[in-house]
Structure 1
Amino acid sequence: MKTTLDELQAFTTVVDTGSITAAAEQLAQTASGVSRALSRLEDKLDVTLLRRTTRRLELTEEGEAFLAQARRILAQVEEAEEQMALRRQNPTGRLRVNAASPFMLHVLVPLVSGFRERFPAIELELHSSEQIIDLIEHRTDVAIRIGTLRDSTLHARPLGSSRVRVLASPAYLAAQGRPESVDALRQHSLLGFTQPEVLNDWPLRHALGDSLSIEPAIRSSSGETLRQLALSGAGITCLSDFMTQADRASGSLVQLLTDDTVEVRQPIHAVYYRNTALASRIACFLDYVTECLKQQEWAMRSA
């Protein structure tokens, strides 16, 4: 038979108040009920937690060790209950969200109207940045980060993932020809990122491995700028599905070297500091975004 929360509560309250009678009063129970709960707990654990004398109760060595664990468990349960209570309330106030401009434009902006209809009392403040920001310095509540997270003291919640592909416009291919092999990319104008350099490692299988480090002819800090350059016929680029799915569906951008492409998916996380006052707003926003992303084709593990 497993230990119950009532038994843990009885044990910790007796320790805190110093007597079974005082604990019973605080818990609105009878003294005999609290005493039976303690006895059941000791029987289940097969240890003596408290030495009972006519004058006082004293923790045993086993009781000291178990008390710390009991407090931790009760604190976690209390926190979980508080979080659920916050979600049931009507959240209000300002929520500052930061994301790279492509994710902001192609993913978050289309969701704003629906979010506002569901949570009209939350005031959204949307900021775009191509670099990783310090949340406190920029007074940001939630940041969306794409790619592998660095070691951080921030709380992170996974939202999904998005595949990356090598793409070009029909206009560019008509003018410059279609590369039929990975090696042929050297003869083409390649569009890449200024930083981080890892974004210029394209998921292409070749003689030396499954990743090709390219030397861009044109660089940009923004994926949206690279998308616009590719659409205008300026060259070949490698971008994530969340910003190019509509382009591929319309034929404005065409995937290249499909047979040589390794499936690589960029993880997408929301990061934030724990803040009780913001917990309800953050939870509502992230729950809504997660719900919507589950309906997005690019977020599914499909070709």
Structure 2
Amino acid sequence: MKTSTDELLVFVTVIDSGSITAAAEKLGQTVSGVSRALTRLERKLDTALVRRTTRRLHLTEEGDAFLGRARAILDALEEAEESVARGRERPSGRLRVDAASPFMLHCVAPHMTAFSALYPEIRLELTSNERIVDLLEHKVDIAIRIGALQDSTLHARALGSSRLRVLASPAYLAEHGEPATLDALHAHRLIGFTAPEHLNRWPLREGGRGKRRSKSDGKNGGKTREDAAARLKIEPSITASSGETLRQLALSGWGIACLADFMTAADVHDKRLVPILANLHVDERQPVNAVYYQSAPLTGRVQCFLDFIAARVRL
């Protein structure tokens, strides 16, 4: 479109005000600036819209026909802007949120009744992927990711961090005994992840080694360099792709697992799962972030979800 909305606004304001001088005052512009904008518009349209005299302005036939179209365009633009403003004040539309199934089950789903009560016009779509998804490819508005972030093109809202612990059920320990050393641990049934492989390195170190802590290395997601080196590689007796499956196996007494506090805190509190090897444990925490693309101000529904979940999730 050759014509700008600023030129349309000048044209309509000149006609409504009755003069270029009055239009300039109303628009907060100079008289010469308004005159140039009107001349520029006529040049683009290759026709005269207004006949100017020393006392009055008169619309030409073409100007009269164009005036109605110009008003319609400006009204439509104003309505569109008001619609966006209403959307920020009263968010609506579809919002797709993705998270690994354990986080979705334990930290997102329990709060969605309250979220929907606050924002009834938002249509939630909750998806769970155990692997990292491409937000654009899967049309995801917000993804909650656990661990160090790799994609520098994403913006992130930190939700906290969650500690990893080695756990077993009282029933399993009653039947198989509690391991006191790393060698004893290897003799037990260990529950691990199918992939990625680094999830089968547990935050355990041999007693008396690695007690001095070095400065934090950001590339390790908040872990110290010594702690990263001290992680114990385990050989799982059974594997699963979802942390929730590992939790259910541990609860059923199948074996020993390494799981995050965000999904097991209630189990530990109620003694359904028991932390073991505490004297060999590295205090390792996984950062939790809500990530999203941001090339412009956030839509109201994305912003309100980020604010809501950050206030509700206690990590």
Q: TM-score range by the shorter chain?
A: 0.5 to 0.7
Measured against aligned partners, the alpha-carbon deviations of 1:262-298 in whole angstroms (never above 9, x if no partner) come to 11110011111226586211110010000112xx3xx
CA distance in 1, matches of 2:285, 2:298: 30
Alignment equivalent of 1:231, drawn from 231, 243, 251: 251
Cα deviation, residue 154, structure 1: 1.7
1:154 and 2:174 equivalent?
no
Alignment equivalent of 1:248, drawn from 263, 268, 281: 268
CA distance in 2, matches of 1:230, 1:282: 36
Q: SS of the counterpart of 2:179? A: coil
8 Å CA contact 1:100, 1:131 repeated in 2: yes
AA in 1 matched with 2:274:
V
Cα deviation, residue 178, structure 1: 0.3
Cα deviation, residue 114, structure 1: 0.8
CA distance in 2, matches of 1:230, 1:94: 37
Q: SS of the counterpart of 2:134? A: coil
Identity %: 58
Q: SS of the counterpart of 1:107? A: helix
Could you state the TM-score of these two structures normalised by the residue count of structure 2? Answer: 0.65
Q: CA RMSD in A?
A: 2.6
- Taking a change above 3 Å as real, the CA distance of residues 235 and 280 of structure 1, as seen in their structure-2 partners, is same
Identify the residue that residue 288 of structure 1 maps to in structure 2.
308
1:166 and 2:145 equivalent?
no
Identify the residue that residue 18 of structure 1 maps to in structure 2.
none
Identify the residue that residue 265 of structure 1 maps to in structure 2.
285
8 Å CA contact 2:88, 2:301 repeated in 1: no
CA distance in 2, matches of 1:250, 1:145: 27
CA distance in 2, matches of 1:176, 1:112: 40
Identify the residue that residue 99 of structure 2 maps to in structure 1.
99
CA distance in 1, matches of 2:113, 2:299: 21
AA in 1 matched with 2:123:
E
Identify the residue that residue 58 of structure 1 maps to in structure 2.
none
8 Å CA contact 2:190, 2:235 repeated in 1: yes
CA distance in 2, matches of 1:215, 1:243: 23
Alignment equivalent of 1:221, drawn from 230, 241, 263: 241
Measured against aligned partners, the alpha-carbon deviations of 1:215-267 in whole angstroms (never above 9, x if no partner) come to 11111110000000001111100000010011101110000011111111100
Measured against aligned partners, the alpha-carbon deviations of 1:16-60 in whole angstroms (never above 9, x if no partner) come to xxxxxxxx97983899xxxxxxxxxxxxxxxxxxxxxxxxxxxxx
- Taking a change above 3 Å as real, the CA distance of residues 86 and 134 of structure 1, as seen in their structure-2 partners, is farther
Could you state the TM-score of these two structures normalised by the residue count of structure 1? Answer: 0.68
Cα deviation, residue 88, structure 1: 5.3
- Taking a change above 3 Å as real, the CA distance of residues 110 and 26 of structure 1, as seen in their structure-2 partners, is same
Is there any run of 5+ residues in structure 2 with no aligned partner, and where?
A: 1-23, 32-84, 211-228
- Taking a change above 3 Å as real, the CA distance of residues 124 and 275 of structure 1, as seen in their structure-2 partners, is farther
- Taking a change above 3 Å as real, the CA distance of residues 205 and 25 of structure 1, as seen in their structure-2 partners, is farther
CA distance in 1, matches of 2:88, 2:298: 14
Q: SS of the counterpart of 1:91? A: coil
Q: SS of the counterpart of 1:135? A: coil
Cα deviation, residue 87, structure 1: 8.2
- Computing the radius of gyration from Cα coordinates, the structure with the larger value is 2
Give the ranges of 4+ consecutive aligned residues of structure 1 lying more than 3 Å apart after TM superposition.
24-27, 85-88, 275-278
- Taking a change above 3 Å as real, the CA distance of residues 129 and 26 of structure 1, as seen in their structure-2 partners, is farther
CA distance in 2, matches of 1:205, 1:273: 38
Is there any run of 5+ residues in structure 1 with no aligned partner, and where?
A: 1-23, 32-84
- Taking a change above 3 Å as real, the CA distance of residues 86 and 214 of structure 1, as seen in their structure-2 partners, is farther
